[in-house]
Amino acid sequence: MFGLRSAVRNAAIVRTAFARTAVAPSALVQRRLYSEEVEETYEQFTNRYVKFFENVDDQFELQRGLNNCFAYDLVPDVTICEAAMRAARRIDDFATGVRVLEALKIKVDKPSQYEDYLQALKPVMDELGLVTKEDLGL
């Protein structure tokens, strides 16, 4: 078992090993270099997630996609929400369809924006038989 004594001894050995090297200790630290991220426009973001939700065929992928989509510092477009709700209906997941609307309510800045989203999504909600959490009495 490792105790405090062995931890101190190991730290002393590492310090001694660094002192013997001709290279500075910071040069010995392995660094991971990430490739530069390419920024995408809002339209590209929207198209990427609409295509993703059009191809979802199980609940895990749908929820993973929603988590990733709503993790960005923006409110998803109406077309993304529509595609996500259609995907939820396609895989017969009523609860996730309602959660899309819940996530929108949390993500928007003002209640009036949420109402605008609900008005824009009303035809799709009626077509798919989805209601808000408030309509369910929860």
pLDDT digits (tens, 9 = 90+) for 14-72: 455 445 544 444 445 555 556 666 788 999 999 999 999 999 999 999 999 999 999 99
- Whole-number pLDDT of residue 4: 52
How sure is the predictor about 103, in pLDDT bands with cuts at 50, 70 and 90?
very high
- Whole-number pLDDT of residue 37: 67
Is residue 1 in a domain? no
Is residue 117 in a domain? yes
How sure is the predictor about 3, in pLDDT bands with cuts at 50, 70 and 90?
low
**How many structural domains does the chain have?**
1
| Ranges assigned E (strand) in 79-125 | none
- Whole-number pLDDT of residue 13: 52
Is residue 85 in a domain? yes
Q: Whole domain around residue 86: which residue ranges?
A: 42-128
Residue found by looking up tokens 């392995």 in the block: 30
CATH number at residue 95: 1.25.40.40
| Cα gap 67→88, rounded to integer Å | 14
Residue found by looking up tokens 């924006």 in the block: 113
pLDDT at 75 over 50: yes
Is residue 20 in a domain? no
pTM equals 0.71
Is residue 6 in a domain? no
Contacts of 56 (CB under 8 A, 6+ apart): 62, 65, 87, 90, 91
- Whole-number pLDDT of residue 137: 83
CA–centroid distance for 63 within its chain? 9
